[in-house]
Amino acid sequence: MRENPSLMALDPMIENLLVLQDRDVRHDEIVRHLEDIPPRLAAEEKHIAAIEARFNVAREAHKALELKRRELEKQASQSEEQRNRFRTQQLAVKKNDEYAALEKQIEAAGVHIDELETQTIEVMLELDQSEISLKGKRAECDAEIARHRDAISAMQRQSAALKAELDGAKTAAEAARKKVSEDALASYIYVKSRVRRPPYVVPIEDQHCCGCHLKVSNDVIQQARVKGTITRCDSCGRIVYI
């Protein structure tokens, strides 16, 4: 009866290194994801602030129109009072030329009041439009902000889940580390610092390193066949096994 050659051949040292690699990579992934979250959260908050700032510009423009309307109404009521004063004065004057002069002022005040009223109506129409547009913008902004808030909530949930997983992952990686011999661990740590990106322990398949995909030398293949020794790819430096 033939045994499965892949199961038969695997060096226990390599097996332990592969377990360590799995757990170590998962641990590092969790740490990396956790580190990514705060800047992503900050970016979402920045988007929300930018949306509010954009809405504020529109709201300030609307407020300016309201101020303009109030100012026009104030001017109209002042002119109205002025005209009434002219009319009261007119009742008291005796001379025709004084009466006529006041009449002219009353007329001028009337023209001014008409102008102010026309302007007020224009501003009120603008205000109606602006109010509709402002409501639309508010709804748009709220929808956009809700999307960013959803993204923030999702990230917070992700962060909580990762934090919950982190301790277990750390313990698991430490346990795997303890099963690896000192020499193998030193090589693993060295390779990890050099290669930076997993995998760090890779098989040789068809004379090629599965990490860098380059052909390894015959010496490397010979050495990889010897159980209990660490062999590294002569191109990328990863720990290789057969």
Residues engaged in binding Zn ion (CB under 5 A) = 209, 211-212, 233, 235-236, 238
Nearer to Zn ion, 97 or 206 (CB): 206
d(CA 56, CA 127): 16
**Which of 152, 212 has the CB closer to Zn ion?**
212
Residue (180 or 202) nearer to Zn ion, CB: 202
Total Cβ atoms within 10 A of residue 114: 12
> Strand 201-205 relative to strand 239-241: parallel, antiparallel, unpaired?
parallel
Specify the residue, 156 or 207, whose C-beta has the smaller distance to Zn ion: 207
DSSP letter for 201, please: E
Nearer to Zn ion, 51 or 204 (CB): 204
| Min separation Cβ 186 and Zn ion, Å | 19
Taking the complex as a whole, the smallest distance from the CB of residue 6 to Zn ion amounts, in Å, to 20
The separation between CA 210 and the C-alpha centre of its own chain, rounded to angstroms, equals 36
- Minimum gap (Å) between residue 199 Cβ and Zn ion: 10
Q: Which one-letter DSSP state was computed for residue 241? A: E
Given the complex with Zn ion, which of 69 and 238 has the nearer CB atom? 238
Residues 5, 24, 170, 151, CA torsion sign: negative
Distance CA 158, CA 139 (A): 28
Beta carbon of residue 238, minimum distance to Zn ion (angstroms, whole number): 5
Whether the Cβ atoms of residue 180 and residue 24 lie closer than 8 Å to each other: no
CB nearer to Zn ion: pick between 58 and 212: 212
**Maximal C-alpha separation, the chain:** 138
C-alpha distances (whole Å) from 96 to each of 91, 93, 102 are 12, 8, 10
Distance CA 199, CA 207 (A): 18
| Cα–Cα distance measured from residue 141 to residue 53, given in angstroms and rounded to the nearest whole number | 10
- Shortest gap between Cβ of 37 and Zn ion (angstroms)? 33
Quickly count: other Cβ atoms within 10 Å of residue 176's Cβ.
Answer: 19
